[in-house]
Amino acid sequence: MDPLLRIVDLHKKFGELEVLAGVSIDVKRGEKVSIIGPSGSGKTTLLRCINYLEKPSAGHIYIDGTLIGEKKVGDKFVHLSDRELAKERQEIGFVFQRFNLFPHLTALGNVTIAPIKVLGLSREEAEQRGRQMLEKVGLAHKIDEYPERLSGGQQQRVAIARVLAMQPKLMLFDEATSALDPELIGEVLRVMRQLADEGRTMVIVTHEIQFSGEVSDRVVFMDQGKIVEQGPPKSVLFNPQQPRTREFLKHLQER
């Protein structure tokens, strides 16, 4: 069976700076993949390329066999229109480091706006679905609160509920706990673990090494825009083969 996500030789340059230097990954349906690495290794850029928040400089991305962000006309690849691209993004959930909740909408408003405006659900349907999702992340009692009245951990959980309401095939997490106070990290990781247990396909960029070890089927270590090493957590995290991986993990332990 085709992998759910296939990334083929992805390159990304910002001016002269090569942030991704040829990355290829396959992610199977239901697989949980964690991407770790030092800052500047390109892991966030890789994630942002998957839903085309960054346009790759070269290489291709497929979800369920469908090209993302471009289409083939004859033997040429051309970029999709805004409308076509938006359609593809509906299937890809993205959780941001800084939550990016919509401050002018309540928690429920944040969770229902895309189902209403993008999927065309009625307000009743969307609100029913929204309530379910907020309940799932443990925020049933906060549906009418505005984001500024919520803690960072609560905001991030609303952001996850907002993604879930779109019923995406694939969920991407971009350092979802990095902007949180230490005592708020646990509640977000708990929700992510719950999603992992439901068998969702997830790609997680994280600094939480222990969490990545517990949740993921595969850990990918990136450095300088390339994949240095990947495999099951117990080998990459506890018995790394590459000196660069060992150095990185040692660094983390010393912190």
Partner 1 sequence: MSFFQVMEQKGWYFFTTLMGGWPETLAVAVCSFIFAMVIGLVIALMRLSRWRALRWFAISYIEFFRGTPALVQLFVIYFGFPDIGFQPSPFQAAIVGLGLNGAAYMAEIYRAGIESIHRGQMEAALSLGMTPGRAMQHIILPQAMRTMLPPITNFAIILLKDTSIVFAVGVVEIMALARNLVTETLQSAAVYLIAGALYLCVTIPMSRLAARLERQRQAWQ
Nearest to 88 by CA among 72, 70, 100: 70
When the beta carbons of 155 and 216 are compared against partner 1, the nearer one is 155
Nearest to 95 by CA among 148, 65, 63, 137: 137
Q: Is 147 in the site for partner 1 (CB under 8 A)?
A: no
User: What is the rounded CA–CA span in Å between residue 65 and residue 35?
Assistant: 22
Q: Is 225 in the site for partner 1 (CB under 8 A)?
A: no
For residue 125, how far is the Cα from the chain centroid? 26
Q: DSSP assignment, residue 144?
A: T
Q: Is 89 in the site for partner 1 (CB under 8 A)?
A: yes
Q: Is 64 left (phi over 0), alpha (psi -120 to 50) or beta?
A: left
Piece in contact with partner 1 (CB under 8 A), picked from 17-25, 65-73, 78-86, 210-218: 78-86
Q: Which of 37, 42, 93, 153 binds partner 1 (CB under 8 A)?
A: 93
Q: Which of 13, 29, 38, 53 binds partner 1 (CB under 8 A)?
A: 53
Number of chain residues interacting with partner 1 (CB under 8 A): 27
Piece in contact with partner 1 (CB under 8 A), picked from 22-30, 102-110, 191-199, 235-243: 102-110
Q: Is 94 in the site for partner 1 (CB under 8 A)?
A: yes
Q: Which of 8, 13, 100, 138 binds partner 1 (CB under 8 A)?
A: 100
Q: Is residue 161 within 8 Å of residue 139, measured between CB atoms?
A: yes
Piece in contact with partner 1 (CB under 8 A), picked from 66-74, 117-125, 178-186, 226-234: 117-125
Structure tokens at 130: 């929204």
Q: Which of 57, 90, 151, 194 binds partner 1 (CB under 8 A)?
A: 90
Q: Is residue 203 within 8 Å of residue 5, measured between CB atoms?
A: yes
Nearest to 171 by CA among 133, 228, 124, 122: 133
Q: Is 162 in the site for partner 1 (CB under 8 A)?
A: yes
Long-range contacts of 76-83 (CB under 8 A, 24+ apart): 79/55
Residues engaged in binding partner 1 (CB under 8 A)? 51, 53, 82-83, 86-87, 89-90, 92-94, 96, 98, 100-104, 113-114, 117-119, 159, 162-163, 166
